[in-house]
Amino acid sequence: MEIKITTENGHIPITVITATGDIDTSTFEIFMSKAQEVINEGARHILVDLTHVPYMSSAGLRVLNAIFSQLRVLNTDMTEDEVLQAINEGVYKSPYLKILNLSPQSKVAFETAGFDMFLETYTDLKSAVDSF
């Protein structure tokens, strides 16, 4: 697995984590480690680019959830209870984490796990960056 970090400047600076290769039980720790590194360095708005990730297992979904949770805690505009209530009501999408170009297989897993309830997905970089 290869991971590249870049910054896009939209309304605010967006940290883009671009992964290449499958994200599964043998690679998720690399992905999580890099995400943790950019968060520790101050990234507060992250776009995960999965254009070159043909397969993402539940381990990859757990990493996305961990990134979401960390960013939500760092950006304290809503309490945990308020976020959960808003997700359940279908009115919350994370303003801090967004996903670019899920593969068809990963999209099925993403939606089955309910991640589409709180994470927006995009198919082009400009729209994704402009959404922050």
Residue-wise pLDDT for 86-100, tens only, equals: 888 888 899 999 999
**What's the pLDDT at 83?**
85
Around Cβ 63, how many Cβ atoms within 10 Å?
Answer: 24
Tokens of 105: 């297989």
Please, what sign has the CA dihedral across residues 74, 97, 112, 90?
Answer: positive
Indicate yes or no: pTM above 0.85. yes
Class of the CATH-defined domain 2-130? alpha beta
Half-sphere exposure of 78 (CA within 13 A, CB side): 16
pLDDT of residue 127: 95
> pLDDT value at position 82?
86
Q: State pLDDT tens for residues 26-84.
A: 999 999 999 999 999 999 999 999 999 999 999 999 999 999 999 988 877 788 888 88
CA distances from 120 to 29, 68, 98, 100, 127 (A): 23, 12, 5, 9, 11
Q: What's the CA gap between 3 and 79, in Å, rounded? A: 32
What proportions of the chain, in percent to the nearest 5, are helix, strand and coil? 45, 25, 30
